[in-house]
Chains A and B, each alone.
Chain A
Amino acid sequence: MPRPKTTSSSVAFEGNTTHLKSSLRSAFLPSHLPAANAFIGAGMARYLGRLLALLFAASICGAVTIPGPVSDAHRSAASELFDGSFSSLEEAYEALRVFEILAIGNKPDVSATACKKVVENLGSSSPVKDLFYALKVNGILKCKVNADVFKDIAVRLKATVTDASTLVDMYYSIGSLVLIKDQVSDVDVLLADADGTFHSIKALSQSDGRWRYSSDNPESSTYAAGLALEALAGVISLASSEIDLSRVKTVKNDILKLFDSIEKYDDGTFYFDEKFVGGSEHQGSLSTTSSVVRGVIAFASVISGKVNLPGNKVLGLAKFFLGIGIPGDAKDFFNQVESLALLENNRVSIPLVLSLPETVYSLSKRDQLKVRVNTVLGSAAPPLTVKLVQAFRSDAKDSVIIESKELQYDKSNGIHVLEVFPDNVDVGTYVFVFEIVLHDSAGEKVFATGGQIHVPIYVTGIIEVSNAEIAVLDSDLGSVETQKKLDLAGNVVVELSANHLQKLRFSFQLKTPHGHAFKPHQAFFKLKHETKHEHIFVVGNTGKKFEIILDFLGLVEKFYYLSGRYDIELTVGDAVMENSFLRPLGHVDLELPEAPEKAARLPPLPVDPYLRYGPKAEIAHIFRAPEKRPPQNLSLTFLSLTLLPFIGFLVGLLRLGVNLKNFPSSAAPATYAILFHLGIAAVLLLYVLFWLKLDLFTTLKTVGLLGVFLMFVGHRILSHLASASSKLKSA
């Protein structure tokens, strides 16, 4: 599947089923999520599976409605997407063109920078592609460019046209010449050999309507066909003499052939796509379709006759572009908006888009069914009447409820209204078939209305709930022990008690506003134990009545032998049921037998899926408590106490009469002695520094150096002392 399709289907779903989804949301009560986790029997699962498939089908149905015309959402998206910054003139042109088409007022002012670039590109000998986009930007901004510059370029471009061998070169040079012709009146841009140029482009065409990029490239491309058609249109408008009509006719045939290879979706959407994959410049289906649309419309606007294309295909192309929704890519956005602008006003056929503001009709509100018909860009359509051809239930095609009704035109709002909604329409999903009839019969040729348009409509209403009854029965005899009537519309709750030998019966009836029995998508009966274990049962439908009988004897194992209070909850919901509800019915006190030893263990409670995305519990960091420190005074006292032995030591020394008489008196040994002591002091000081701030490596390095020094001076002084004492001894 090509890329834009994926975006198209998903975005179309977003855009057109909002109201449907909101109604679905109201019908799908919040209980359905936990319900998925709870016990559901095999039969029930199958039932649910069918139900989901049905709903899925319904939502798909909603997705195939015709997408509405371009709206303000597009304009705000464009303002965001094209924020005024662009790297090339091509991007600048795309942004300016989108702003021009969508008539966005508060666009970013890029004219100064863009014009500067335009003048730069036009002045120098830049490639044709840059010239082409410079001229395109100039066409919008009307920059101040010297007229002589255009003359020089025109001469250069004419030379390129005759020399060009590839389609792309021709496309850009011819396109540039056409742009010059539109912008400046007095420059001669007419091609002398228009016939020859026409022929050389046409020579690249293939039998299936596609084109080759160059004569030595055998691969043909749909994208190239678009370029070629635009170039041919340019050649025709630049021709100094009339182009041979037979040549134009063959190109018309090529276009028809090209439209034979158009791709199609089931909902009537048409688009073009490249056949071969693997080419170096593979284009997506959006750019391919956009290229073809540009080419065909350009060609149709310059020829004298009309290109006869089937209206449904043109409308299908419009559907394709609108179905994309709002592309997130600037290039895609430009392609979409420009193609829609071309479809808005062209000579082939102008598609008219029928859209419904709401595809939900409420029987209780009795509002009107409104239909809007616009062109693709949202402007008013010519005078026309919308006819409701027929309407039938979406599940039964032959059950026609309405036939051929004309919608009234409300001029002030520009909408067509079905004023009287037929009384025989009950709640449900329907398909309404509309047809657009133009007042001016000549308009049939100008506009593409698309014939019969099928639109799924949801008719909703208030469903009447009645005869609700809850009872506890004796299992063996079937006699009623307690029986209570319930008013499901009110808030009354019941209190029941039962044991495993009894049964619980619950029944109610649903009626549509027309008195028919109604079968909702959801009818669930839920028992929820105090421990949050819950069991969900589907309430069966027996003809007119919904009834469920719970035989507790058979359910004891499923209930894990859990006695106690069970809360009862009832869910009834449907997409077309306006009063879908989820309400508590009361509770039942169950007395179940003791669990045997072999009984299945109670499973852990499912985690609430909503909790998983909630805030996590705050993390409390546990830090080590700081150790208790002694009072400071005590520590200081002991610090001074440690000084006492030192003082004692000094006093002792004094008393011993220690002196420094042995200190060497001569110069060299005294120096060594002082250095020795200084060295020791230095090492001790280094140790203190090591304790306070240095690391081990620095300390060891320094200690090494100091140690060598210390060893040297120490050796000198101590050996001096030793020799002195030995001399003394010997003496």
Chain B
Amino acid sequence: MIIFIKVFKRREEKRRGFLWCIAKSRRSERMARSSSKDAQDLFRALWSAYAATPTNLKIIDLYVMFAVFTALIQVVYMALVGSFPFNSFLSGVLSCVGTAVLAVCLRIQVNKENKEFKDLAPERAFADFVLCNLVLHLVIMNFLG
């Protein structure tokens, strides 16, 4: 449970509903020692909190999930059959991980709540994202073998 929250923490910390969420989770933590209903409540609360996220950020989140799951499938494949073309495996996983990291960076910059990047236009952030992706994949392709 705590882990799950921690995962979300990173995502949600810079958001408006974050403190609220923490408060709520703490409350539910206190209450739901053994009750699954409380857990359900927690998820519902989390979901509803997340539902308020702007759509463009949700798209990025979806994209990150897509990249992470693709990487996971490759890792499972490697665990099953061995790591023979190791460079291919590495480039596949790193491509996914790299994409995810870049997407997270994009999300950080695009997020309006982040005062740090207030002056940065989201278009500029997207241009950076595209450029970084192209460079990353050039390297990945070179390493793919």
Interface residues of A (CB under 8 A from B): 627-630, 634-635, 638, 641-642, 644-646, 648-649, 652-653, 656-658, 680, 683-684, 687-688, 690-691, 696, 699, 703, 707, 714-715, 718-719, 721-722, 725-726
Residue B142 interfacial (CB < 8 Å): yes
Q: Tell me whether B55 and A658 are in contact (CB under 8 A).
A: yes
Q: Are A629 and B55 in contact (CB under 8 A)?
A: no
CB distance from A552 to the nearest CB of B (A): 68
Known: A634-B81, A645-B70. A680 touches B65 (CB 8 A): no
With both beta carbons as reference points, the residue of chain A lying nearest to B69 in the complex is identified as A645
Q: Please tell me which one of the listed residues A648, A680, A691, A725 contacts residue B69 in the complex, with CB atoms under 8 A apart.
A: A648
10 nearest A-B pairs in the assembled complex, by CB-CB distance: A630-B81, A645-B69, A649-B66, A718-B123, A652-B62, A722-B123, A638-B77, A627-B84, A687-B141, A645-B66
| C-alpha spacing A707/B144, complex, angstroms | 22
* B5 is an interface residue with CB less than 8 A from chain A: no
Q: At the interface, yes or no: B58 with Cβ under 8 Å from chain A?
A: yes
The B35-74 residues at the A interface (CB cut-off 8 A) are 55, 58-59, 62-63, 65-67, 69-70, 73-74
Report the bound CA distance from A649 to B100 in whole Å.
13
- Chain A residues near B65: list those with CB within 8 A: 645, 648-649, 652
A651, closest chain B residue (CB): B62
In the complex, the answer to whether B81 meets A722 with C-beta atoms within 8 Å is no
- Collect the chain B residues with CB atoms within 8 Å of residue A657's CB: 55
Residues of B within 8 A of A652 (CB): 62, 65-66
B74 vs chain A, min Cβ distance (A) = 7
Distance in angstroms from B136 CB to nearest chain A CB is 11
Which of B66, B76, B130, B144 touches A680 (beta carbons < 8 Å)? B130
Q: Is the CB of A721 within 8 A of B123?
A: yes
Q: Smallest distance from the beta carbon of B15 to chain A beta carbons, Å?
A: 17
Are B137 and A684 in touch, CB under 8 angstroms?
Answer: yes
The one of B70, B77, B127 that contacts A646, using a Cβ cutoff of 8 Å: B70
- Residues on the B chain within 8 Å of A638, using CB: 73-74, 76-77
Residues of chain A within 8 A (CB-CB) of B18 are: none
**B75 → chain A closest CB, angstroms:** 11
Task: Give the residue of B80, B82, B123 whose beta carbon is less than 8 angstroms from that of A628.
Answer: B82
Interface membership of chain B positions 103-145, coded 1 if the CB is closer than 8 angstroms to chain A and 0 otherwise: 0000000000000000001111011001000100110011010
Please measure, in the bound complex, the distance between the C-alpha atom of A9 and the C-alpha atom of B18, giving whole angstroms.
113
User: A684 CA to B99 CA in the complex, in Å?
Assistant: 14
Please determine whether A687 and B70 come into contact, CB atoms closer than 8 angstroms. no
Ordered by A's residue number, 13 sampled pairs between the chains whose C-beta atoms are within 8 Å are A629-B84, A634-B81, A638-B73, A641-B73, A642-B70, A646-B70, A657-B55, A690-B142, A691-B144, A707-B134, A714-B130, A721-B123, A722-B123
In the complex, what's the smallest C-beta–C-beta distance from A645 to chain B, in angstroms?
A: 4
Closest to B68 in A: A645
Which of B59, B67, B122, B141 is the one whose CB lies under 8 Å from A653? Answer: B59
Q: Indicate the size class of the contact surface on chain B.
A: 20 to 34
Query: For residue A680, which residues in chain B have a CB less than 8 angstroms away from its CB?
Result: 130, 134
Q: How far is the CB of B51 from chain A (nearest CB, A)?
A: 11
Interface of B is mostly: helix
Tell which of A634, A691, A719 touches B123, judged by Cβ atoms closer than 8 Å. Answer: A719
Instruction: Identify which of B76, B84, B138 gathers the most chain A CB atoms within 10 Å of its CB.
Output: B138
With both chains docked as a complex, state the minimum distance between the C-beta of A227 and any C-beta of chain B, in angstroms: 81
Additional 11 contacts, C-beta under 8 A, given A645-B73, A691-B144, A721-B123: A627-B84, A638-B74, A645-B66, A649-B62, A652-B62, A652-B65, A653-B62, A656-B55, A718-B124, A719-B123, A722-B124
Cβ-defined contact, A649 with B141, below 8 A: no
A233 to B87, CA, bound (A): 95
Chain B 81-109 near chain A by CB (<8 Å), digits 1 or 0:
11010000000000000000000000000
- For the complex formed, measure the closest distance between the CB of A500 and the CB atoms of chain B, giving whole angstroms: 67
Nearest CB of chain B from residue A199's CB, rounded to whole Å = 96
Of all chain A residues, which has the CB nearest B137? A687
> CA–CA, A707 to B135, complex, Å?
11
Shortest Cβ distance from residue A133 to the other chain B in the assembled complex, whole angstroms: 74
Q: CB distance A644 to B81 under 8 Å?
A: no
| A332 CA to B145 CA, complexed, in Å | 69
Which of A649, A690, A714, A725 has the most B CB atoms < 10 Å from its CB? A649
Taking CB atoms, residues of chain A closer than 8 Å to B122 are 722, 725
Q: How far is the CA of A648 from the CA of B142 in the complex (A)?
A: 29
Residues of A contacting B66 with CB < 8 Å? Answer: 645-646, 648-649, 652
The answer for the CA separation of A642 and B138 in the assembled complex, in Å, is 21
User: How close is A726's CB to chain B, nearest CB, in angstroms?
Assistant: 8
The distance in angstroms between the C-alpha atoms of A683 and B136, with both chains bound, is 12
Residue of B nearest to A630 (CB): B81
A656–B123 touching, CB < 8 Å: no
Question: With contacts A648-B69, A684-B137 known, is A722 near B121, CB below 8 A?
Answer: yes
Q: Output the least CB separation between B87 and chain A (Å).
A: 12
Closest to A646 in B: B66
Name the CB-closest residue of A to B70. Answer: A645
Chain A nearest CB from B113 CB (Å) reads: 16
Q: In whole angstroms, how far apart are the Cα atoms of A722 and B119 in the complex?
A: 12
* Distance A635 CA – B124 CA, assembled complex (angstroms): 40
Contact of B126 among A634, A646, A718, A726 (CB under 8 A): A718
What residues of B have a CB within 8 angstroms of the CB of A718 in the complex? 123-124, 126-127
Residues of B within 8 A of A656 (CB): 55, 58-59, 62
In the complex, chain B residues whose CB is within 8 Å of the CB of A635 = 77, 81
CA distance A638 to B70 in the complex (A): 10
- How far is B77's CA from A638's CA once the two chains are assembled, in angstroms? 7
User: What distance in Å separates the Cβ of A635 from its nearest Cβ neighbour in chain B?
Assistant: 7
